[in-house]
Amino acid sequence: MTSAMIVPETGSPDVLKQQTIERPEPASGEILVRNHAAAVNFIDTIIRRGEMPEGMMPALPHIPGVEGAGVIEALGPDVRGFSVGDRVAWMGPVGAGGYGTHSVVATPCVTALDEGISFEQAAALPVNALTAWHMLVNLGHLKSGDTILVHAAAGGVGTMILQIAKHLGATVIASVSTGKEDYARQQGADYVIDYKKENLVESVRELTGGKGVDLTLNPIAGETLKTDLELLAPLGTAVIFGFLGGMPSGSFAEDLARHFGKSVAVRVSDIYSHFTSRPEVFNADLGKVFGLLSSGVLSPNIRVLPIESASEAHRQLESGQTTGKLVLTMA
């Protein structure tokens, strides 16, 4: 038997409850990880509230958690390259059960963990760093010397975007709410705009000499996509990776036609499509971002809470006042 923090029914953070469950067993090509830490993500809170898109809501009771770190406890048939006792980090699909002491994950979702990296650091990395890397490199084709605009730059993904983009030689403009300006600068932003006090369009145009930015990374959508199209330089790309402000407003036909002469592109990014469609590339990218962690290029900003405080972690994340990443630890 093992234990997990479960969502027995939808509702407030208080519905989360710790429960004893059967230990899962790995099938062919799978690994059983004894989790020591797991990270908290917005998808965990969306599932808990019952607000997943139609057809995507998992059955209840549900164990949240799509990323974690720990020690391999068992191997399924046909697993190569891993051994029982290895320290690993992983990112899995909805249902991987990171809020439990044990998770079963497929081998492309797992990477070896250097001894010098803590489980807490490792658990905070996969979703945020892979999302950032995928958007910057695979979708945005970032080159040294490019200029990018990062919305919500003080969040978990934003932190990784800032650090990776600076490593790749970009000039980074961070858009944050009041009180998070210094944090964004500490993470590598060259310029910081308080979108609550400053006019984003005017500020970006001034900073870029009227040229605009080569890439925008946007988890907000809503009205902000129209702003991004205004701010893109010729051949620029806007990448949407969330809908915190609702679905994009306006008309793609009208908005894109207005900027036709700049040959701009709009992409959407769902990290799950990356690992379901190209597992080998996903695994290689997972190794790359953990290499950046080991070399000190990446340094996730984490706040650690015990698994028993999962409800409090959800409250903090939903408050919008957090910076970096919330991590839960298991005894």
What pLDDT is stored for residue 259 in this prediction? 81
Q: Which of 226, 252, 270 is the last residue of a domain?
A: 270
Model pLDDT for residues 102-146, shown as the tens digit of each residue: 999 999 999 999 999 999 999 999 999 999 999 999 999 999 999
Indicate whether 265 and 161 sit together in one domain: yes
How many structural domains does the chain have? 2
What pLDDT is stored for residue 224 in this prediction? 79
pLDDT at residue 193 greater than cutoff 80: yes
What pLDDT is stored for residue 127 in this prediction? 96
Cβ atoms of 20 and 92 within 8 Å: the answer is: no
Indicate whether 256 and 226 sit together in one domain: yes
What pLDDT is stored for residue 1 in this prediction? 81
Model pLDDT for residues 16-51, shown as the tens digit of each residue: 999 999 999 999 999 999 999 999 998 999 999 999
The residues, ordered by sequence, that sit 6+ positions from 1 with a Cβ below 8 Å of its Cβ are 20, 21, 22, 23
Model pLDDT for residues 247-286, shown as the tens digit of each residue: 777 776 777 778 888 999 999 998 989 989 999 999 999 9
Indicate whether 68 and 13 sit together in one domain: yes
**167 vs 301, residue with greater confidence:** 167
Question: Is the previous residue joined to 61 through a cis bond, with omega within 30 degrees of 0?
Answer: yes
Domain membership flag for residue 53 = yes
User: How far is residue 229 CA from its own chain's centroid?
Assistant: 23
Indicate whether 100 and 134 sit together in one domain: no
Indicate whether 107 and 133 sit together in one domain: no
The 8-class DSSP code of residue 59 comes to P
Helix (H) or strand (E) holding 146: none
Indicate whether 163 and 74 sit together in one domain: no
Domain membership flag for residue 83 = yes
Domain membership flag for residue 232 = yes
Averaged confidence pLDDT in the chain: 93
Domain membership flag for residue 95 = yes
**155 vs 6, residue with greater confidence:** 6
What pLDDT is stored for residue 255 in this prediction? 76
pLDDT at residue 53 greater than cutoff 90: no
Indicate whether 6 and 62 sit together in one domain: yes
Indicate whether 135 and 262 sit together in one domain: yes
Domain membership flag for residue 234 = yes
What pLDDT is stored for residue 296 in this prediction? 95
How many Å is the Cα radius of gyration of the chain?
20
Indicate whether 265 and 132 sit together in one domain: yes
Task: List, as one string, the DSSP characters of 63-128.
Answer: ---SEEEEEEEEE-TT--S--TT-EEEEE--TTS-TTBSEEEEEGGGEEE--TTS-HHHHHTSHHH
What pLDDT is stored for residue 261 in this prediction? 80
How far apart are the C-alpha atoms of 325 and 128, rounded to whole Å?
A: 9
Indicate whether 198 and 309 sit together in one domain: no
| Domain at 105, CATH number | 3.90.180.10
What pLDDT is stored for residue 210 in this prediction? 96
Domain membership flag for residue 284 = no
| Domain at 181, CATH number | 3.40.50.720
How far apart are the C-alpha atoms of 214 and 143, rounded to whole Å?
A: 10
Domain membership flag for residue 71 = yes
* Range(s) of the domain holding residue 55: 2-124+300-329
Domain membership flag for residue 291 = no
Backbone dihedral region of 145: left (phi > 0), alpha (psi from -120 to 50 degrees) or beta? Answer: left
Indicate whether 147 and 116 sit together in one domain: no
Indicate whether 136 and 265 sit together in one domain: yes
Q: What is the pLDDT confidence band of residue 67, given thresholds at 50, 70 and 90?
A: very high
Q: What is the pLDDT confidence band of residue 186, given thresholds at 50, 70 and 90?
A: very high
